[in-house]
Amino acid sequence: MSQDHHPRDGSAGSSSSRSSPTPSSPHPRTPRYMTVGNGSTSASAAALMSTLDHDSGYGSSIAGDSYTNDGSKGWHPGLTSDQPTPEFTSRIPDETNPDADKDRRIMASHVHQLYYNQNRAALGRQITKTVETLTGLQQMNSKWPAQYPSVREPQKPKSDPRPGFAHTQSTVAGGDIHKGKDNVPLRPGAPRRAATSLGEESTAESSSAAEARKPQEPERLITPQSAQDFSVLKLNMNVQGFTQAEIAHSMKKESIASLLDGRINQSIRHLLRLRDRIEDTSSKVLVTGDLNAGKSTFCNALLRRKILPEDQQPCTSIFCEVLDAKENGNLEEAHAVHKDATYNRNDESTYDVYPLQDLEKIVTDNQTYTQCKVYVKDIRTIDESLLNNGVVDISIIDAPGLNSDSLKTTAVFARQEEIDVVVFVVSAANHFTLSAKEFIWNAAHEKAYIFIVVNGFDNIRDKDRCERMVLEQVANLSPRTFKESSELVHFVSSNAIPVAPAIGPGPPGGDGGGGGSGSSSGPSNDFPSPADDDEMLGKHGEPGSPPRKDKGKEKEKLQDFEKLEGSLRRFVLEKRAKSKLAPAKTYLLNVLTDLNLLATVNRDVAQSELDRVWQELQEIEPAFEKSKKARAEVSDDVDKTIEETCSDIYNNTRTIINNAISQVAATDLGVPYPGLMSAFQYAEDVKQAMLDQISQAVSICEEKAKHQTIGSVNTIKSLGVLHLGDEYNDLNFNSDRMFTKRRDLLARQVDFEIEFADFFDISSLWEQNEKVAGTGMALTVASVLGGRMMGGFGWVDGAVGAARVMGTQNMRRLIVPGLIAAVVLATTYTLRTIPTTLPPRLSRRISSTLSALDYTHTNASRVSTETRKILRYPAENLHAGLQQSVRALGEKREERVKVKKESEVARKYFGNLVRETGEGRGRVEDVDLEGAQVPGLAGGYEEGMMV
């Protein structure tokens, strides 16, 4: 709104309401309307009234132009945009037709109500929608913990040890918020590379440092300023000694999400209360101010009845709410509410009933009561009355004077949502005390506008100076109130207003009484006007007071007060939009702005998460496939290695043992032949040496197998390192522990007795004899016979055969020398051939025994089996490692896919939320509460209104 000051009126605008009545209009016959405040309202209000002037009714022209089909927008003063503000004229009632003027005002009131309802409906709709949005956000927050925008606190200079007033923190790597010009934070810088270049930051990051860096959380794209901008959804993370940044940084995402959830709940509750409030047609006016500033006197002046006790000394110590008696079955009485009780008019246990004249007793007793409800009949007309105004149910609350004790209580009281208007009464003589300043300062945050009554103005001599000084203070305390000070700051003398007694003959000069007859008797007609009835202008309207000498001054005081009343009515009624809808609008704007910011940040976080997981999936997918393939390939390779090693070892062992067995006879066993007497011992020694030789061969096989096992274990290990890298879990392999089971079983297994026959090797003897020339007949005979004898016929057969050939006589002659020769021969043979004949014989026996035992296979199999057993450990370890690697990659992939899906959902959700909250904000901004003012509704005063 802009205030256009008429050149002929220098006192409008920010000056007080004490401007003198404006000269008559240049067009006295045409009623004109005035606007207050500044900005577009003047245009819209003037246009509206112009419509009323030129239209027979308001219905069609307005509905057609301003009501949008979608119903989403509130009324906007677009009817006559750019239309010049009508030339100022004072509002002179049309004397020729007073009813027309009144009708127009009533009509204007209805139009105002229409717009008010439109705006109320628009805000109500938006509240419902915002509650739905918040509920949706809560659900989303439970699935995808929302990130709370945070920035890292800039490094504080070391000289300042106190924690700064922190916002929140950042997760930007390295914690740097790069500051641009004017200390404006920029986007976090890209990761720095290790390089040296002039003009750049000298602390280049080494690659190892970069590696050592923890993986970054997704960047939270927000500036410290925007983090600070949070109002409704600001998280309360106060822990003594810690900054918000430190707390937020140390908190888990889930904890922040749960804090946010709580905040959303609060916000939903507040929105629902706001909706109830804007749907409520009642309005409460809290009158507060310094001790003895004249609050009760002021309230009485408004009521034109001396209802509330006034005193030279502070007396009001409880909150007294004055309501229309209609709300109490038209009964005038006071309900003193019990301490700790919640007032319920229908429940008498919550209060005590007193007649009005006993109020003095109640208001000073703050031990028994905390507040009282005073039901009075307002006998003024709906044009004049504040309580009974025909539009809204208004109640006036007289608060205890402010001091250090009551300040907090009153501040809390004033913050209540049902308090629409705060009227602050300040003594003109004392100006604003510290308590007053503190109260207004705090209240200004809650209520954009405060109605200020500078009371006791009659006591001031230099009135201009007082006005100037008070307005200067208002400008500091509540700039918005100051901006509209012509409407909101009034300099009056409340005690100069004629009032009727609480109980008695009714309004001053009237015949109605507190008993309630006033309303029916049309008291307004009898109410004293400033121009008449000198007798009535006694001190604070007390009948019978000596008449005032200075009639002009008294009249002026009354005019000032009436002007105040007009403004107050406008403030309560016309600006109800501000006082009642504005909190809803402001809160909606705040919550939607916060939601928009939160949604923007989370949309970006979701996007960056999406980018991150997409990038990670790009790396994981091939690694996963590779890992799966490697698992199969490596398993095959390992199996192959084991198979080859074992079969190699089996074959080698077999060959070596077989060779050892077959060649043991030819090997120099190093056993000395001790002579015939120890032939058996010799045979035992040879046998043992042979067995040792074979055992040694087995040991060699085992050694070889060990070496091969070591090689294969290393091969498997290399495969593990190759495919698993650092993840490969190496096992300790000690080859010394292989083949530790004793192999001396062999000696027992091959435990055969040396036989006599073992010393004779006939086949070798035969070979020997053939080589010897000139062997005697006996030898030949012996050979033949022996051969036959040895051939299996036995000695008897041999002897019988020889006897037959040679004849008995010859036999007899030959037998003795033959036998001697044979014995000699045999002895010689034996003596000569034992070292040669015994080993092959033994070897054959050993060989056949071992073969019966399947010795070669058993040993080859044992060695290769043990090797297989040993190799199975690293193989299984590697397999498990690969399995684990595949599983880990699979899980990682699954997790990323899940995050990707969730991030996609979140990005979409928050993207929509950004749009929705932006649109919602636009709709709320379009609800033009300023434009809903209709000048002229309040008929309290006309002349003083300036354009």
Ligand X SMILES: Nc1nc2c(ncn2[C@@H]2O[C@H](COP(=O)(O)OP(=O)(O)OP(=O)(O)O)[C@@H](O)[C@H]2O)c(=O)[nH]1
Only segment of 55-63, 304-312, 408-416, 710-718 that touches ligand X (CB under 6 A):
304-312
Nearest to ligand X of 536, 588 (CB atom): 536
Nearest to ligand X of 229, 556 (CB atom): 556
Nearest to ligand X of 44, 288 (CB atom): 288
Does 420 engage in binding with ligand X (CB under 6 A)? no
Nearest to ligand X of 292, 600 (CB atom): 292
Q: Which helix (H) or strand (E) holds 424?
A: strand 419-427
Nearest to ligand X of 238, 312 (CB atom): 312
Angstrom distance (rounded) from CA 624 to CA 617: 10
Angstrom distance (rounded) from CA 932 to CA 39: 12
Question: How does strand 282-289 pair with strand 419-427?
Answer: parallel
Nearest to ligand X of 250, 403 (CB atom): 403
Does 405 engage in binding with ligand X (CB under 6 A)? no
Site for ligand X in 484-543 (CB under 6 A): 493-495
Identify the residue among 37, 124, 401, 936 touching ligand X (CB under 6 A).
Answer: 401
Smallest separation (angstroms) from ligand X to the CB of 262 = 39
Angstrom distance (rounded) from CA 791 to CA 197: 107
Smallest separation (angstroms) from ligand X to the CB of 300 = 8
Nearest to ligand X of 309, 523 (CB atom): 309
Only segment of 7-15, 230-238, 309-317, 467-475 that touches ligand X (CB under 6 A):
309-317
Angstrom distance (rounded) from CA 473 to CA 483: 12
Angstrom distance (rounded) from CA 278 to CA 858: 100
Report the DSSP beta bridge partners of residue 423: 287, 451
Site for ligand X in 565-594 (CB under 6 A): none
Angstrom distance (rounded) from CA 758 to CA 437: 132
Residue 881's alpha-carbon distances to 711, 726, 894, in angstroms, are: 20, 11, 19
**Closest by CA position to 56, among listed 107, 114, 93:** 107
Helices (H), 280-368: 295-303, 359-363
Three-state SS for 46-61 is HHHHHHHHHCCCCHHH
Does 297 engage in binding with ligand X (CB under 6 A)? yes
Site for ligand X in 841-880 (CB under 6 A): none
Q: Which helix (H) or strand (E) holds 374?
A: strand 369-376
Angstrom distance (rounded) from CA 314 to CA 935: 38
Within 10 angstroms of residue 252's Cβ, the number of other Cβ atoms is: 9
Smallest separation (angstroms) from ligand X to the CB of 377 = 22
Nearest to ligand X of 350, 366 (CB atom): 366
Nearest to ligand X of 311, 625 (CB atom): 311
Instruction: Find the residue with minimal CB distance to ligand X.
Output: 401
Identify the residue among 66, 126, 316, 712 touching ligand X (CB under 6 A).
Answer: 316
Smallest separation (angstroms) from ligand X to the CB of 406 = 9
Does 455 engage in binding with ligand X (CB under 6 A)? yes
Does 295 engage in binding with ligand X (CB under 6 A)? yes
Q: Using CB atoms within 10 A of its CB, is residue 166 exposed (0-12), middle (13-18) or buried (19+)?
A: buried
The answer to whether the beta carbons of residues 337 and 365 sit under 8 Å apart is no
The answer to whether the beta carbons of residues 57 and 48 sit under 8 Å apart is no
Dig out the tokens for 768 from the structure: 């020997």
Which residues lie closer than 8 Å to 77 by C-beta, 6 or more apart?
40, 41, 43, 44, 45, 47, 48, 928, 930, 931
End-to-end CA gap in the chain: 11
Only segment of 221-229, 306-314, 412-420, 481-489 that touches ligand X (CB under 6 A):
306-314
Does 139 engage in binding with ligand X (CB under 6 A)? no
Does 456 engage in binding with ligand X (CB under 6 A)? yes
Nearest to ligand X of 491, 909 (CB atom): 491
Report the DSSP beta bridge partners of residue 397: 286, 321
Identify the residue among 78, 314, 522, 911 touching ligand X (CB under 6 A).
Answer: 314
Smallest separation (angstroms) from ligand X to the CB of 317 = 7
Smallest separation (angstroms) from ligand X to the CB of 540 = 6
Only segment of 98-106, 292-300, 702-710, 855-863 that touches ligand X (CB under 6 A):
292-300
Q: Report phi then psi at 392, rounded to 5.
A: -125, 150
Nearest to ligand X of 291, 394 (CB atom): 291
Nearest to ligand X of 386, 669 (CB atom): 386
Report how many residues bind ligand X under the rule CB under 6 A: 22
Scan for tokens 């705006």, then name that residue.
119
Smallest separation (angstroms) from ligand X to the CB of 218 = 58
Smallest separation (angstroms) from ligand X to the CB of 398 = 7
Only segment of 450-458, 755-763, 836-844, 861-869 that touches ligand X (CB under 6 A):
450-458
Smallest separation (angstroms) from ligand X to the CB of 315 = 4
Does 328 engage in binding with ligand X (CB under 6 A)? no
The answer to whether the beta carbons of residues 863 and 707 sit under 8 Å apart is no
Helices (H), 854-933: 855-926
Angstrom distance (rounded) from CA 468 to CA 475: 11
Smallest separation (angstroms) from ligand X to the CB of 558 = 12
Only segment of 228-236, 287-295, 598-606, 934-942 that touches ligand X (CB under 6 A):
287-295
Identify the residue among 101, 153, 310, 484 touching ligand X (CB under 6 A).
Answer: 310
Identify the residue among 315, 382, 448, 623 touching ligand X (CB under 6 A).
Answer: 315
The answer to whether the beta carbons of residues 131 and 272 sit under 8 Å apart is yes
Dig out the tokens for 577 from the structure: 């939009």
Angstrom distance (rounded) from CA 871 to CA 890: 28
Contacting positions for ligand X (CB under 6 A): 291-297, 310-312, 314-316, 400-401, 455-456, 458-459, 493-495
